[in-house]
Structure 1
């Protein structure tokens, strides 16, 4: 693997001019930048490139190295692809690329993690003790997965014979497919916790795919499928939830609501769930797919940037920090306090709003009339060749962009399936991370009222 990375890095370097390489080498050692983006995930890379493109389009281009991305990761992951891996539709190696290969020469890269945020000083401190100052800060750290909050889970995931798996990590997403394929009879249990998770529809996406696989391979009569969820309904948006409930009943999938997984006994193949009121119930399983609990990163929770729940406190419309003293701080994606589902689709709508408002603040001192309406999307796989395309905004109100072409998006369709399987991964790697893909707007940057641009 190290040899492969070395080859890729040499290839990336050879594509830059000598002058560009000199800037690349020097910019990541500066102490101050115009814009610092913490996190090189979907939100960080997308918004960093959109900001660079926005200033250039306005005729006031930033210099190479004025924007720095802070992230120590070796790889960048296309996390929506892990459901496809768990369904046998992709290899997991297709869902990751070396991070350095995705950072263009006009962005400096500080390959470290942040130890402390000091917004009153407009600076961050890295794990090495380095202080980096900024004129504007964008927090795009994502969230953390709390595997150890469920007793016995980490041990079960590490055991190849446990029958326990999860699509929520690169290390375990292919185990999902192995477990699904290996099951010939018994009880398949799929879980979802109460509270915030990445893409709240994903826990049942993999369930529907497993169910369909069992039907198509003649195992349906020998395998029961049950959904244990800490939520009160199948989905947060009533329109889609009602249709998913009908689907659950028609397919004979058991539904156990307000059941939160608290422990896994892989040796005895038992899962323990906590019910309302504090009582618990033990459930036998043959296959157990677990969606772990999630929450804000510890470095965010202990920082002045956090709200009471530990997320970066930003305005729901502008994505600017709510503290008047931190108006040069912004957040995007999973780490933010935005009250909407945490998905890559949400980032496609958030990034141009943040970009426009930051550009306006830097240029005029005031935010533009660019407002985020909470748009997000959850492409809900319901089987091979079928997908329910849930799109909605704040207030859990549907906001469908393709209904006029394909009909009601609560109806699973093959066309939607190919968006998830084929178009979205292609758009992500080739355009979104480069700042040139705007989700439901395609390649066209959303227009905002010119009077305040």
Structure 2
């Protein structure tokens, strides 16, 4: 949802529900999740329904909306954390009802949602966009290690731990530095190595790089899922003397002994222990239980939708986008910028009684992959790992890191996010120009 930690406490949400919300509510469109996907869909729906009486509600218990792509900038010392979040009520579009409630279950046969606070919400149409869960508890010892700054263990995947990343980078003068990426699906799959490259760049600026042995331990078999960029990043890894521990999945952290334990997936899961002086961890990630255990989920726990239309494969009045959906693309904010207009167009078509859905999503996603200070590899691709590059016809292949791309990530994208994206006027590679569907 708007926060991976779902920051509003359940007790606070229950108080809200008992004092201000009747036990049953109905809306024409209900959106579960006030993160990037949910808020963007709400804003675009309102714009499309100008002059009509829209009846839209968002369910999300979080108090804060986070610009999560900015956490890499915070961890690299490029931006303050304060610039990467806003109160959620300030982000939800005016005219959209907000319920700060925790969804406990879906009943799509009856078009209803139960919440932990005892409020039933019914709908005519449902958009499911609660994001995914960063499962820090999925690695033994990690939660405890993150709570103690002295351990030199940190992660850019939480607003509670991201500032410690920069502190740890600046304090390391020598020793062994390990950066991890888990096996399986993670949001922004390039982020685990963005912080690797930025740390190396900072250590070079500080004159200590030659004193530090760096390793990238990933549960995957390559540096990136798209072959074109994987090769370019592998070349960087070799050039910059970073040890590659491929198919090594972190399973436990012993902060006291400063030992990280991995399972070597290429060797039958054999355990491999590595000492560290600096450890950056990306936790395993999974669907929220209230999604995974619902009738809306596929076998893997994601909302089961058509990968082109974003419509549910069984319930025609249900749509999904973003990290919670089953669409087999990279889970990034950039993907949402292309998914949202498709979903909104197809939702409105369904609401008007049309069976044919013309808007099609091609799997576009982007990973603005920082490779150091003043350089960034702008990875853009669609389904099948096929590059779909916006600037290549002007600048050449985007596997080459460029300063222009660095400033897009650092300076332009945060501004666009707060001023256009969540207000429903940003369409990814199309900029401010909304796509037109036949």
Q: Which residue of 2 aligns with 1:145?
A: 134
Residue 109, structure 1, aligned to residue 101, structure 2: no
Could you say what secondary structure the match of 1:37 adopts? strand
**Structure 1: distance between partners of 2:408 and 2:321:** 24
Q: Which residue of 2 aligns with 1:286?
A: 277
Out of 37, 43, 46, the residue aligned to residue 40 of structure 2 is 46
Residue 336, structure 1, aligned to residue 325, structure 2: yes
Residue 307, structure 1, aligned to residue 298, structure 2: yes
Mapped contact 1:38–1:141 kept (Cα < 8 A): yes
Superposed counterparts of 1:34-183, under 5 Å? 34-56=28-50, 61-63=52-54, 66-183=55-172
Q: Which residue of 2 aligns with 1:232?
A: 221
Residue 221, structure 1, aligned to residue 215, structure 2: no
Runs of 4+ in 1 over 3 A off after TM superposition: 25-30
Superposed counterparts of 1:203-282, under 5 Å? 203-276=192-265, 277-282=268-273
Residue 435, structure 1, aligned to residue 435, structure 2: no
Could you say what secondary structure the match of 2:326 adopts? coil
Could you say what secondary structure the match of 2:188 adopts? coil
**Structure 1: distance between partners of 2:306 and 2:341:** 15
- Residues 387-418 of structure 1: CA deviation (Å, up to 9, x unaligned): 00000000011000111222210000000001
Could you say what secondary structure the match of 1:272 adopts? strand
- What TM-score, normalized by structure 1, do the two folds share? 0.91
Q: CA deviation at 1:62?
A: 2.8
Q: CA deviation at 1:26?
A: 9.3
Could you say what secondary structure the match of 2:164 adopts? helix
**Structure 1: distance between partners of 2:227 and 2:188:** 16
Superposed counterparts of 1:357-396, under 5 Å? 357-396=346-385
What is the root-mean-square deviation of aligned Cα atoms in Å?
Answer: 1.4
Q: CA deviation at 1:217?
A: 1.1
**Structure 2: distance between partners of 1:28 and 1:446:** 39
- What TM-score, normalized by structure 2, do the two folds share? 0.94
Mapped contact 2:24–2:120 kept (Cα < 8 A): no
Could you say what secondary structure the match of 2:113 adopts? strand
Q: CA deviation at 1:296?
A: 0.4
Q: CA deviation at 1:367?
A: 4.0
Q: Which runs of 5+ in 2 are unaligned?
A: 1-18
- Residues 238-272 of structure 1: CA deviation (Å, up to 9, x unaligned): 00000000000011111010000000000010000
**Structure 2: distance between partners of 1:130 and 1:365:** 32
Could you say what secondary structure the match of 1:334 adopts? helix
Could you say what secondary structure the match of 1:125 adopts? strand
Mapped contact 1:296–1:310 kept (Cα < 8 A): yes
Mapped contact 1:39–1:69 kept (Cα < 8 A): yes
Could you say what secondary structure the match of 1:247 adopts? helix
